[in-house]
Structure 1
Amino acid sequence: MKLRFLLLSFLFAATMFAQNGTVTGVILDKEFNNEPLPFANIVIKGTKQGASTDENGKYSITLKPGSYTLVIGYLGYETKEIPFTLKANEKKVINYTLEASGVQLADVEIIQVVSKEKESALLQEQQKAVEIKQSIGAEEISKKGIGDVAAAVAKTSGISKQEGSSDIYVRGLGDRYNSTTMNGLPLPSNNPSTKNISLDIFSTDILEYIGIDKTYNYKNYGDFAGANVDIVSKTYKGSGMIEVGSGMNANSNAISQNKFYLQDGPNFHGFSNEPIPNNPLSGYNFTTSWNKQAATPIGSSFYLRGGDSYSVGSGGKLSFFVNASFDNNYSYKEGARRGSVNAQGVAVKDLFRTASEYSTSSNGMANINYKLNNNHNFKINSVYINSSSQKHEEFTGIIDVFGAAQNGGGFIRRSTFDRTSLLINQLLGEHKFGERVNFDWGVSYNMMTNVIPDRMQNTIIPFTWDDPNSRLVASDINQSDNHRYYQEMTDDEVAGNFTLSYKFGKNDDNSYKGKIIAGYSGRYKEINFDATQLNLSVNRALYNTQPTVDLNNLDGYFNQANLDANFFSIRTFRGDITNANALVPQNYNGQQIISAGFGAIEYQFTPKLFVIAGFRSEYIIQDIFYNTSLKTGKNLSDTMEYLPSLTAKYEVNEKQNIKFAVSKTYTLPQFKERAPFLFEEVGQSYFGNPYLYNSTDYNFDLKWEMFPKNGEVLSFTGFGKLIQNPINQVTVASATNDISWVNSGDQAIGLGIEGEWRKNIFSRENISTGEKTNLGFGLNVSYLFTDQDLNTQKVIEENPGFSVAFTNKDSRLTGASDLLINSDISFNKEFKNDRSLTATLAGGYFSDRIYALGVTSKGDLVDSEVITLDFILKYKINKNIGFGLSAKNLTDPTIERRQDIQNVVVDSYKKGRNFSISMKYSF
């Protein structure tokens, strides 16, 4: 009896289940050419039942027979209600194309809301792509409390940022091997020392996400071996929004000083540009003081942003987004600073340095997106950035172990204000002609100006050189020991991308197996660099009667009265006022033209195998003209590069891919590296080498990736690099041991493996209350092996006048860390009434890496390993008000550069811990 009852129960249940029906379909995105829309919210009105679309825009909901209303929603898009009736065992198909709208999801119980700036959406894009790529979106950037693009990029696998500079290292390859674009169009450098623009001048407020291509793409310029970093500017969709925010920040080292000093001249906002005085050689006409000025080392920030979108005509949409922000911060460092260390381990300079620093960043962006209809879209994007850094350094100790202040007592003060202004203008278009033909294009005009106005340097030594307690006088060792320096660099560039594609091989499901792509890219760059150094040359003939210098009153010595008394004179490297050309600046200028044609075939050979075969050819002109203290002349170069590439993806299953990429690229020397201009720092100088030439690069990648759930990934990538005639930074054997650049050997190799893991440890959602809880974890690890041969004879033969004798016959690549680790754990809680809490703990590590190669029995200069730890907390009180708290660099490691073999520390300091609080209000 019991068995019969049980069987009847099972039969009844099966019958009831069989009577259910299913509503299913695909949701498309009208704003993105009817591409599938992942993560759209599908709910049955008046019930708790619902689903989210997958990466292909598909959804499916099982229901009992009856009449229902399907509600389709996505944040910033229209909410669509579709009535339907479902019969027993029926499979009802409801497809729909969503359009962006100002209508919010006020009456819909949201099951999941994910915008295209979120981690999960970008991972879905990564999964679908044939290329090997990574992205970091606005959501992850906000969660980790990242304020600039450089810090954001350094959180991804295989990438680190060099301390004390803006250089980004990708798989051990530094600035020269990387490239930077915005919306696919190239950006100029803001520094004569680098190829790429400093990514830390870009506020993360202006971007939607950052795309990182570590494998070569035929659409990118071929001057590539590490990565292309593409900053994708924010495009606004949805109803009107205004948000205002402010904050304060402090550095533990800076606020611990009794008095925080900076140079006289630069202002709070960072827009200063002190001009060269009129007739500077005929009198003491400087308006700024040599004496340092006290400041309050508390930083601040402010931003205002807004956006809106409107329907225009039939099927048209117009949207805009504007952002304005200002940030500043203070920092303080102190520690050992030694100059060149000889083979016996003796430092020529042995100093203790203190450095007070102040930096600003002002960002403004405005973009307009006009969607004419589903087939035509236009975008105007303009960005203005003004960034500045002010560094006031003081050095005490031995200035020259074989001469001045050989027992200590010497003093050097150097104050440097560096300002960059950048204006980016872009016009982009996307067009569809039928369902087969697409035409995408973009043009840009960028104007960059970098100035170092009125850099001040003093060198003060004991009157009796070997007595540190002797009275102090102005140094007469070199005429440049006391000087004021003015530099201006401009970089104007026009660029354009044009791509036409045609789909072929139509399948039964209306998709296409193949695509043919053809296009053209071009960029024309004009660069001009001027520098004038006014040396306050101390009169050696009057050394015995030189006045005593008060370190707290340098204006008491450097003034018109002492100039008239002939204690010092004002002159340039060309001479004094008696030379008519004395004020002609040192200069190098030139042009760089790259004209490229490219083509590719994308083809799906099987349902699982996708292949892209690409080819690009580039004609490159790089002409430099120079008139400097080292040399006058010109250096003309033109080359043709042929760059094949092959990329493939094999879909093991719905959640796993294997990807492969191989390519040929090149590495181009930079203007500064080829121009014979002397850049002088305290303890180190650099000059260019006109004999440099291109390197040739061969790149290989093999990646396995798995996406267990939305927002999760596990991947491993093996990669290899072969670089022929690599360019390296080396110490040139000379009296001053200056640094220059050479093609250091025949070849270099780099082999490595990267692993990435993102996991949702715990996730829970209460549909009835709308509360969500999530604990997530991220880890990426990179191991790298590099080796290059060092050929002294090759360098001597190819570079007349250079004396380079490598200490070692082979070496790691400069900038290459063997091990890189980034990790974070994040807790997120969404409460009722729009309240939310996010807490993130993020850490990073990179191992030792070579800064410059050693010569003449001296060891390499090596940057020591660093461990960092940051904590970020954000709390949203309601839909309008939010607060933030961050504590960064909690480990406060010692940043150290040493010369191996001799094992002498040449540079050492601590950055201090950084704390900030912020508040925002949304209207």
Structure 2
Amino acid sequence: MKILLQVIILFFGVSLNAFAQKGTIRGTVTDAANGEPLFGVNAVIAGTTTGAVTDFDGKFQINVEPGTYTLQISFVTYQKITIEGVEVKEGGVNIIDNISMKEDVAQLGEVVVTAKAIRTTEAALLTVKRKSTNLMDGISSASFRKIGDSDAGEAVKRVTGVSVEGGKYVYVRGLGDRYTKTMLNGVDIPGLDPDRNSLQIDIFPTNLIDNMVVLKSAVAEMPADFTGGVVNIETKDFPEEKILDVSLGVSFNPSMHFNDNYLDYEGSSTDWLGFDNGSRDLPNPDLARSIGQEYPAPTSPDFSNEEVFDYNNSFDQTLGASQATSFMDYNFGLTSGNQFVLPNDYKIGYIFSGSYKSTTTFYDDIIYGEYQKPGGSEERTELITANVQTGQQASKNILLGGLAGLALKTPNSKYRFTAMHLQNGESTAAQFAINDDPEDLAQGKSGFGATSDNIAYSERSLTNYLLNGEHHSSDNAWTIDWKVSPTFSNIQDPDFRKAAFSLDQGEPTLAAGQAGLPYRIWRYLDEINVVGKVDVTHSFELFNDNSKLKFGGSYVYKERDFEILGYTLQFFGGQPDWSGDPNEILADENLYPNDGNGFLNTINTKPNSNAYNSTVDNIAGYTSFEFNPISTLKVVAGLRAENYVQRHTGRDTNFAQGNVEEGKNLEDEKVLDNLNLFPSLNTILNLTERQNLRFSYFKTIARPSFKELSFAQIIDPISNRIFNGGLFVYEGEWDGNLRSTLVDNIDLRWELFLDRDELISASVFYKGFSDPIELVRIRTQLTSNEYQVRNLGDSRAYGAEIEFRKSLGFISPGLENFSVNGNYTYTKSLLQMSETEYQSRLDYEKPGENIDETRPMAGQAPYVINAGIIYDDIDKSFDAGIFYNVQGPTLVVVGGSLFPDVYTEPFHSVNFNLNKRFGANEQFSLNVSVNNILGDVREEFYKAYESSDQYFNRRDPGTSFGVGFGYSF
């Protein structure tokens, strides 16, 4: 506490007047041989004694009068560097962040460069990539401005082998979100979507991010639960210069915005802030939880008619969407930060950033389809319509984010504290026409037509704290890095409402056996995620070269509470004559004991089968050794151990409904208990100074999520599809034993680093999957659309990657400012089907069809392409580019029996972006963008032998036009 008080006094009491008329030169010096910071380097203004010495981060700071200087960088046994044209303005900061020193083995004297030539963050990131011990790609904050991406989901898809599904979920090397891990500042954080295994990456505005790195091979200090890659998002912490930036952006999509047919409903007064004010709360949830199916209904002797009416009348009577006019997208942000020099060479820095983003979408021809195969013995190959919903779906999404950080640096230590909160609210309204195919009846279907109104609200929040300390010995031979990071996430889906009228000879009616009775759902999820880790590094000399011994450990604790409470409308006797307006259904006259005799009855069991508590304890330890057996070869060998225990409290519907003999009930029972060893080996052969050949082998794991290892049944009220937890048993299909996936990974990469941030690289890789987890259509559930995750057999995937980044100046000097970049990832996957799945496919084999025992692995894209053409004129502070991204057709839902497989259709994304900075000090910025120039449509199709493709999902995002403004004070 005493130290903290001293820091506060110094921070607020230190006099900065001495530097009021001066400017500052700040720089970072690294070793060209390994990319690591150099400690103790002298940085001096030529012809003077004014200078500084680099700290353990390789950083230095010099305060001088305004002017233009020559800076000399020198270090024993290293080549001297002279940097000319270092301009210093009054009160300004000149940052030179990529000074790379070479050993002076041939006594080559000094190197003379200009300051402008080495001031590029992207070049620094390439240096890290070239010297990294594992395979990595990344993108820096400097590129965010150039490309104009507003959030991490848009930015990360520029990275080699990376694609982003739905703008939110990262795929690395074509592998789905299950095999990609997202980390924040090097630690685990939970996702905001309970239906996904990975984090929604679009919740991070780029103005909060320092850089994003995608790691594609493992080292022992990394968590083992990834396969395609780890996306690590580093937030800003210690600003190199004073920052006070504001930004404002708007985007217009002609097919979505200022549309008078937009769908909406009355929400709460705080929806614009990303949370509900309580107007959607469930009336008396404690009562609903305590009495289960003895809910106050006419059949219960415990409640009077008046009490039944009052309780039913306490629910919001709005069940239908109404037309409104949509507004365009807009966003704004504020970022402020600075650092100060304190006595005794202490430095303190702060960063604050806030952002607000409102996005409105409207799809006026959305499709959700369900199809079946005709019988196996039939000649017919065309699919049979089981159920198709077509109509309009509208949503308004609010994302409010804030980050505050404080960092303190001493001569031998650095401390960092950051707090981040993200608030997300999304209001959705939809209207559908439902065709249950009365003319060509599918199995398990009654055949009907209907209309449906669906309204929903999702409120999601994430709060993360990080306390980090980094300590160096006086000779920089020992480093201790520790982190403690708790994260609290909360998800509420208050009052999902669906009201569908079945059409009986054109007349609307409420029918349980057809479109279903009106229902409403409240879903709650609270999750705590606490991470503690420590890493110790010892640097020493072995074989006349630098070596490192690393060891450490981590502990991760997670706990999730999940609950769904739901209600459906029922009637005594006959129903009123309906007009087809869903907002009349809960009118007073239609509620018991009035003439309509309608009442809302719970669909919850007692105990609730749709509630669970799960915990995870993951204790890990590791050691690794990095050494150079010869001067051109680096070897990093490591071993990681993880003891992972997942416990679950929950029960299936059989037990909850009183069938204790056949039902299952778990009370804090272990559903996963594994001690696994994860070896890793990375080798880097320096063919030349700028050319590497890399080889790596590592073992990783993909574990089931809380939701997947549960008895939960989660319905999507928009598409009407139901997810069933993997603990459910389906006789003849699935034994309820969901297991982790172990993966063996092999990578080989050649890379050549050229001048001006240019590079060429080529890779090949192999991955072997034991028991991969895949999403499956449940074959025995014919009357409803139900899905489950299962282990379906072993799989393998192999592929290749190429990447290039090249200026066109070699063609003509007039093309010097033009560059092209691109990357292509090809993957071939094969899964050996289980006997159950293979036989279910043979049962529906068509004449002439030849069903193989292997198929593509679910979630694995066959190819990913990223490409771009960029014009960048540094002198005029102007850049522009056009960028292309596509992912190949991917199996997303595994069929079998009468259900066909579902594949994504390639979405060809072409975007344009332009940036210009202007003003005396370039304090103004302008950004212009056009997204989805081709107007492509996002589609997923059912595919079967000699059958026309039929829609599983379809939505048209249209083309959007955006403009953004920024000002730096």
Give 1:430's aligned residue.
470
Matches within 5 A, 1:255-294: 255=257, 257-266=259-268, 267-272=271-276, 273=278, 274-278=280-284, 281=296, 282=308, 283-287=312-316, 289-293=318-322, 294=324
Contact 1:247–1:301 (CA under 8 A) maintained in structure 2: yes
What residue identity is the alignment partner of 2:180?
A: N
Distance 1:805 1:615, change over 3 A: farther
Give 2:485's aligned residue.
444
Distance 1:397 1:124, change over 3 A: same
Q: Secondary structure at the match of 2:958?
A: coil
Give 1:680's aligned residue.
715
Give 1:741's aligned residue.
789
Distance apart, 1:214 and its partner CA: 1.0
Partners of 1:91 and 1:606 in 2: CA distance:
24
Give 2:431's aligned residue.
394
Q: Secondary structure at the match of 1:152?
A: helix
Matches within 5 A, 1:490-569: 490-505=526-541, 512-538=545-571, 541-542=573-574, 545-551=575-581, 554-564=582-592, 565-569=595-599
1:311 corresponds to 2:346: no
Partners of 2:835 and 2:713 in 1: CA distance:
23
Picking from 285, 288, 297, the partner of 2:327 is: 297
Contact 1:336–1:352 (CA under 8 A) maintained in structure 2: yes
Matches within 5 A, 1:318-329: 318-329=348-359
Alignment deviations for residues 306-330 of structure 1 (CA, whole Å, 9 cap, x no partner): 1111011211110111001101111
Q: Secondary structure at the match of 2:797?
A: strand
Distance apart, 1:772 and its partner CA: 13
Give 2:304's aligned residue.
none
Partners of 1:459 and 1:793 in 2: CA distance:
37
- Higher mean C-alpha displacement, 237-246 vs 690-699: 237-246
Partners of 1:53 and 1:820 in 2: CA distance:
45
Contact 2:500–2:515 (CA under 8 A) maintained in structure 1: no
Distance apart, 1:593 and its partner CA: 0.7
What residue identity is the alignment partner of 2:450?
A: G
1:120 corresponds to 2:164: no
Give 2:233's aligned residue.
231
Distance 1:434 1:94, change over 3 A: farther
Distance 1:268 1:585, change over 3 A: farther
1:130 corresponds to 2:133: yes
Contact 2:610–2:711 (CA under 8 A) maintained in structure 1: no
Partners of 1:391 and 1:522 in 2: CA distance:
39
Picking from 840, 844, 852, the partner of 2:885 is: 844
Alignment deviations for residues 577-633 of structure 1 (CA, whole Å, 9 cap, x no partner): xxxx59x68311110010001000110112211010000101011011114646552
Q: Secondary structure at the match of 2:123?
A: helix
Partners of 2:340 and 2:811 in 1: CA distance:
36
Q: Secondary structure at the match of 2:194?
A: coil
Q: TM-score, normalised by structure 2?
A: 0.80
Picking from 398, 401, 408, the partner of 1:363 is: 401
Contact 1:573–1:629 (CA under 8 A) maintained in structure 2: no
What residue identity is the alignment partner of 2:117?
A: Q
Matches within 5 A, 1:72-221: 76=93, 110-112=115-117, 114-115=119-120, 118-163=121-166, 166-221=168-223
Contact 1:772–1:830 (CA under 8 A) maintained in structure 2: no
Q: Secondary structure at the match of 2:800?
A: strand
Q: Secondary structure at the match of 1:778?
A: strand
1:815 corresponds to 2:820: no
- Higher mean C-alpha displacement, 232-241 vs 301-310: 232-241
Distance apart, 1:367 and its partner CA: 0.9
Partners of 2:655 and 2:636 in 1: CA distance:
48
Distance 1:480 1:680, change over 3 A: farther
Give 1:750's aligned residue.
797
Q: Secondary structure at the match of 2:579?
A: coil
Partners of 2:625 and 2:631 in 1: CA distance:
17
Distance apart, 1:737 and its partner CA: 4.7
Picking from 916, 936, 945, the partner of 1:875 is: 916
Give 1:670's aligned residue.
705
Alignment deviations for residues 849-882 of structure 1 (CA, whole Å, 9 cap, x no partner): 1111120054311111111111111222212222
Distance apart, 1:537 and its partner CA: 3.0
Picking from 823, 829, 838, the partner of 1:786 is: 829
Partners of 2:78 and 2:351 in 1: CA distance:
27
Distance apart, 1:241 and its partner CA: 2.5
Contact 2:609–2:711 (CA under 8 A) maintained in structure 1: no
Alignment deviations for residues 483-510 of structure 1 (CA, whole Å, 9 cap, x no partner): 11111111101111101121222687xx
Q: Secondary structure at the match of 1:349?
A: strand
Distance apart, 1:130 and its partner CA: 2.2
Alignment deviations for residues 281-306 of structure 1 (CA, whole Å, 9 cap, x no partner): 53221246334352432222111111
Distance 1:415 1:762, change over 3 A: farther
Contact 1:237–1:308 (CA under 8 A) maintained in structure 2: yes
What residue identity is the alignment partner of 2:281?
A: P
What residue identity is the alignment partner of 2:943?
A: D
Alignment deviations for residues 631-671 of structure 1 (CA, whole Å, 9 cap, x no partner): 55225221100111000101011110011110112221111
What residue identity is the alignment partner of 2:531?
A: A
- Higher mean C-alpha displacement, 329-338 vs 641-650: 329-338
Partners of 1:804 and 1:570 in 2: CA distance:
43
Alignment deviations for residues 447-486 of structure 1 (CA, whole Å, 9 cap, x no partner): 0001111111111121x2xx3xx22223332796411111
Distance apart, 1:555 and its partner CA: 2.2
Distance apart, 1:58 and its partner CA: 5.5
Contact 1:603–1:611 (CA under 8 A) maintained in structure 2: yes
Distance apart, 1:76 and its partner CA: 4.3
Distance apart, 1:560 and its partner CA: 2.8
Structure 1 vs Structure 2 CA RMSD: 3.6
Contact 1:312–1:318 (CA under 8 A) maintained in structure 2: yes
Picking from 952, 957, 960, the partner of 1:911 is: 957
1:598 corresponds to 2:622: yes
Alignment deviations for residues 94-121 of structure 1 (CA, whole Å, 9 cap, x no partner): 99xxxxxxxxxxxx98533525xx3221
Distance 1:288 1:316, change over 3 A: farther
5+ residue gaps in structure 1?
Answer: 1-24, 63-68, 81-89, 96-107, 576-580, 798-802
Partners of 1:231 and 1:660 in 2: CA distance:
25
Q: Secondary structure at the match of 1:558?
A: coil
Partners of 2:450 and 2:514 in 1: CA distance:
14
Picking from 798, 806, 812, the partner of 1:759 is: 806
Q: Secondary structure at the match of 1:286?
A: coil
Distance apart, 1:678 and its partner CA: 1.3
Alignment deviations for residues 51-108 of structure 1 (CA, whole Å, 9 cap, x no partner): 9999x9966569xxxxxx996989945899xxxxxxxxx987699xxxxxxxxxxxx9
- Higher mean C-alpha displacement, 854-863 vs 479-488: 479-488
Partners of 1:592 and 1:46 in 2: CA distance:
58
Q: Secondary structure at the match of 1:141?
A: helix
Distance apart, 1:830 and its partner CA: 3.6
Give 2:644's aligned residue.
620
Contact 2:406–2:418 (CA under 8 A) maintained in structure 1: yes
Give 1:14's aligned residue.
none
Contact 1:480–1:536 (CA under 8 A) maintained in structure 2: no
Q: Secondary structure at the match of 1:486?
A: strand
Distance apart, 1:896 and its partner CA: 1.6
Q: TM-score, normalised by structure 1?
A: 0.84
Contact 1:587–1:628 (CA under 8 A) maintained in structure 2: no
Give 1:104's aligned residue.
none
Partners of 1:57 and 1:672 in 2: CA distance:
56
What residue identity is the alignment partner of 2:319?
A: W
Alignment deviations for residues 522-545 of structure 1 (CA, whole Å, 9 cap, x no partner): 100111111111212355x41xx5
- Higher mean C-alpha displacement, 308-317 vs 679-688: 679-688
Distance 1:609 1:804, change over 3 A: farther
Partners of 2:702 and 2:838 in 1: CA distance:
18
Partners of 2:601 and 2:71 in 1: CA distance:
79
